[in-house]
Structure 1
Amino acid sequence: MERVYRAALEKWGVEAQYDQTIEECAELIAALKHLKRDKVDEEQIVSELADVTLMIGQLTWMFGEERVKAAVARKLEKLAGLLDAP
């Protein structure tokens, strides 16, 4: 995957990858809204999730996997605390 991430970054640049991530997230948001109204099926959601997952993978690679993992661990700890709260 790193080879593909690097090639995409070299071909389109950082700003374009940020914009692409925003676009993919927006498409997922729209698809989820449409799912609630039975205008799309779960396969469309899966497809949009795949697009977002690829962009998140690229951003994770760009910003540093260890930094992202540490942030996720902090967020999981916070969520666990919220779930344990009365």
Structure 2
Amino acid sequence: MKHAKIYQATLKKWGAEAQYDQAVEECAELIAVLKHFRRGKVGEQEVVNELADVTLMVGQLTYMFGPGKVEAAIDEKLAKLQQLLEK
């Protein structure tokens, strides 16, 4: 996994509970900035910055729960999406 060392270090320093809380906070910030973007109150860069934060937290959570499990779930969901697109 690309950033495994830093993910491991964050878990060691702050623990799993803090990482769960941080992920929730970053997702909430992305939600808020997307609402503001749709209304023209913020620019694209603000959205990109929040996407980066969420992407890092998704990486952290993926590391915590197991990359193989997450990849398998993604594959299943992509297969379902493909079926929907073909209808």
- TM category, shorter: over 0.9
Which digits, 9 at most, give the CA deviation of each residue in 1:30-66, with x for residues without a partner?
0000000001100000000000000000110111111
Distance (whole Å) between structure 2 residues aligned to residue 84 and residue 32 of structure 1 = 29
Counterpart position of 2:65: 63
Task: Provide the residue aligned with 1:6 in structure 2.
Answer: 8
Q: 1:3: how far off?
A: 1.2
Residue 83 of structure 1: CA displacement?
1.1
Q: Give the paired residue count.
A: 85
**Aligned partner of 1:26 among 21, 28, 49:** 28
Structure 2: stretches of 5+ with no match in the other structure: none
Root mean square deviation, CA, Å: 0.6
2:45 to 43, 49, 55: 43
Distance 1:82 1:26 in 2: 28
Residue 75 of structure 1 pairs with residue 77 of structure 2:
yes
| Distance across 2 between alignment mates of 1:7 and 1:63 | 16
Task: Calculate percent identity across the aligned residue pairs.
Answer: 61
Letter aligned with residue 4 of structure 1? I
> Which 5+ residue runs of structure 1 have no aligned equivalent?
none
Structure 1 consecutive aligned stretches of length 4 or more whose deviation exceeds 6 Å: none
